[in-house]
């Protein structure tokens, strides 16, 4: 059982904690917050044994195997580096970093300290996408040609220059663009050969509000990715997989449980799970149990490929 401490008790932390609670090989060991009061209030909702208010205390606890960072993007690099340098394994919410140099440095530190490191890209571990991929491999829509995925909602009325999403280190591509990127990568199941990126800012904000990419993969599959904080898409977005003998439509592909196959004999592909975070957590925990420093499914190279889709 891998003991995990959830760090940063913001918006996503409770869903991550629940994902850990449903995992078969991981245990919600503790939470770490800058505020004891906040941690105690959080604990009322999700019972947890240990509360930490300093990372040094987390490092000093020999029973802690892994820190899961749910902190703002612009804190990730230094927090992850510090944890790895203190001998702890790390899962870090997306985007872990925006720089290829920092990404390489962090994976090297993980390896030299015999720690595990993984960016928390839950879409890469989606049980539904796994099952869809299996069906594609079994020929359900013939050879696949193109994958189109989107994730968009209008944030303009909520944009706040003092909030980290809208400051340097934020932006739509790293925030929600990574869901369609990972979805397309997962289904294309090949390395990208060429990537064209389009980004557009909005008003005075120093970050992208519109992100589009067109990717050609080494196996000939192409992908189009749409993400913006401008447009309220139905259910925020969806994925379409176009094959020679049909199309697969997946609403909410980043967390969904059902896909619709449109071919000569229409059918559905369905899965069931309790939390959309559990699959990535179980995967990371099993890598830690095996003493791996990186995930075979989300290695340094794969994480770099994902970053390449939105960072030039
Ligand atoms: N995978 C997903 O589905 C998903 C969904 C949403 C967000 N995310 C990612 O999760 C991360 C957090 O997002 P969020 O929406 O939860 O953010 P948030 O609501 O702003 O919360 C972040 C938390 O981090 C802590 N924090 C803030 N500033 C810090 C600093 N300077 N140093 C250390 N800790 C700090 C705070 O917790 P304390 O006060 O307790 O210290 C804060 O509540 C982001 O990287 C985001 O992209 C992932």
Residue 261, Ramachandran bin (φ over 0: left; ψ between -120 and 50: alpha; else beta): beta
**CB burial of residue 153 (10 Å; 0-12, 13-18, 19+):** middle
Q: What is the pLDDT of residue 264?
A: 86
Q: What is the pLDDT of residue 234?
A: 86
Residues 29 and 85 in one domain: yes
Helical residues (DSSP H) of 13-54, grouped into ranges: 13-22, 36-45
Tens digits of residue pLDDT in 176-208: 999 999 999 999 999 999 999 999 999 999 999
Q: What is the pLDDT of residue 68?
A: 98
Share of the chain above pLDDT 70, in %: 100
Which pTM value belongs to this model?
0.97
Cβ distance 52 to 58 under 8 Å? yes
Find the CATH number of the domain harbouring 179.
3.30.360.10
CB-ligand 1 contact for 35 (6 Å cutoff): yes
In a domain, 33, yes or no: yes
How many Å lie between the centroid of ligand 1 and the Cα of residue 253? 23
Burial code (b: 16+ CB inside 10 Å, e: under 16) for 195-217 equals bebebeebeebebbbbbbbebbb
Tens digits of residue pLDDT in 242-300: 999 999 999 999 999 999 999 988 999 999 999 999 999 999 999 999 999 999 999 99
How many Å lie between the centroid of ligand 1 and the Cα of residue 206? 20
Q: What is the pLDDT of residue 9?
A: 98
Residues 138 and 257 in one domain: yes
Q: What is the pLDDT of residue 148?
A: 98
Nearest CA to ligand 1 atom 42: 10
Q: What is the pLDDT of residue 128?
A: 98
Tell me what the mean pLDDT of segment 5-26 comes to: 98
Q: What is the pLDDT of residue 233?
A: 87
In a domain, 257, yes or no: yes
Residues 116 and 146 in one domain: no
Tell how strand 2-7 and strand 26-32 pair up. Answer: parallel
CB-ligand 1 contact for 119 (6 Å cutoff): no
CB-ligand 1 contact for 114 (6 Å cutoff): no
Residues 117 and 220 in one domain: no
By residue range, what is the domain housing residue 75?
Answer: 2-122+277-298
Of 234, 255, 270, the residue that ends a domain is 270
Residues 289 and 258 in one domain: no
Residues 103 and 178 in one domain: no
Tell me what the mean pLDDT of segment 160-183 comes to: 94
In a domain, 311, yes or no: no
Residues 100 and 10 in one domain: yes
How many Å lie between the centroid of ligand 1 and the Cα of residue 35? 14
Confidence of residue 74 (pLDDT cuts 50, 70, 90): very high
- Ligand 1, from 6, 7, 8, 53: best to mutate by most atoms within 8 Å of Cβ? 8
Residues 132 and 264 in one domain: yes
CB-ligand 1 contact for 70 (6 Å cutoff): yes
Q: pLDDT averaged over the chain? A: 97
Residues 211 and 281 in one domain: no
Q: What is the pLDDT of residue 169?
A: 85
Higher pLDDT, 290 or 168: 290
CB-ligand 1 contact for 91 (6 Å cutoff): no
- Ligand 1, from 93, 97, 307: best to mutate by most atoms within 8 Å of Cβ? 93
Q: What is the pLDDT of residue 2?
A: 98
Q: What is the pLDDT of residue 312?
A: 81
How many Å lie between the centroid of ligand 1 and the Cα of residue 99? 19
- Partner residues linked to 215 by β-bridges: 195, 223
Residue 47 has pLDDT above 90, yes or no: yes
How many Å lie between the centroid of ligand 1 and the Cα of residue 7? 8
CB-ligand 1 contact for 9 (6 Å cutoff): yes
Tell me what the mean pLDDT of segment 156-165 comes to: 93
Residues 191 and 284 in one domain: no
Residues 103 and 22 in one domain: yes
Structurally, the chain folds into a number of domains equal to 2
Residues 241 and 168 in one domain: yes
Q: What is the pLDDT of residue 65?
A: 98
d(CA 150, CA 117): 28
Nearest CA to ligand 1 atom 10: 70
In a domain, 219, yes or no: yes
In a domain, 306, yes or no: no
Confidence of residue 222 (pLDDT cuts 50, 70, 90): very high
Nearest CA to ligand 1 atom 43: 10
Nearest CA to ligand 1 atom 4: 12
Tens digits of residue pLDDT in 97-137: 999 999 999 999 999 999 999 999 999 999 999 999 999 99
């Amino acid at each position: 059982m891998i003991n995990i401490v959830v760090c940063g008790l913001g918006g996503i932390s409770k869903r991550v904690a629940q994902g850990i609670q449903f995992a078969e090989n991981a245990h919600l060991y503790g939470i770490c917050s800058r505020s004891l009061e906040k941690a105690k209030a959080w604990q009322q909702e999700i019972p947890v044994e240990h509360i930490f208010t300093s990372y040094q205390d987390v490092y000093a606890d020999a029973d802690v195997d892994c820190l899961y960072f749910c902190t703002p993007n612009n804190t990730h690099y230094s927090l992850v580096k510090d944890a790895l340098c203190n001998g702890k394994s790390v899962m870090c919410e997306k985007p872990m970093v925006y720089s290829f140099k920092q990404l390489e440095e962090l994976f090297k530190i993980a390896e030299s300290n015999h720690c595990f490191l993984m960016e928390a890209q839950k879409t890469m571990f989606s049980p539904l996408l796994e099952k869809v991929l299996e069906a594609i491999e079994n020929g359900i829509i013939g050879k696949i040609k193109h994958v189109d995925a989107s994730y968009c909602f209008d944030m303009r009325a909520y944009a706040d220059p003092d909030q980290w999403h809208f400051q340097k280190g934020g932006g739509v591509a790293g925030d929600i663009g990574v869901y369609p990127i990972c979805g397309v990568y997962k289904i294309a199941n090949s390395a990208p050969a060429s990537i064209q990126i389009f980004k557009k800012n909005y008003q005075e904000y120093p970050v992208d509000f519109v992100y589009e990419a067109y990717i050609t993969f080494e196996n000939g599959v192409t992908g189009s990715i749409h993400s913006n904080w401008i447009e309220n898409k139905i259910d925020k977005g969806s994925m379409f997989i176009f094959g020679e003998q049909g199309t697969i439509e997946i609403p909410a592909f980043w967390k969904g449980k059902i896909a619709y196959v449109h071919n000569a004999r229409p059918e559905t592909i369905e899965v069931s799970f309790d939390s959309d975070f559990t699959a990535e957590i179980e995967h990371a925990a099993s890598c830690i149990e095996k003493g791996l420093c990186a995930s075979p499914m989300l290695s340094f190279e794969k994480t770099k490929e994902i970053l390449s889709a939105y960072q030039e």
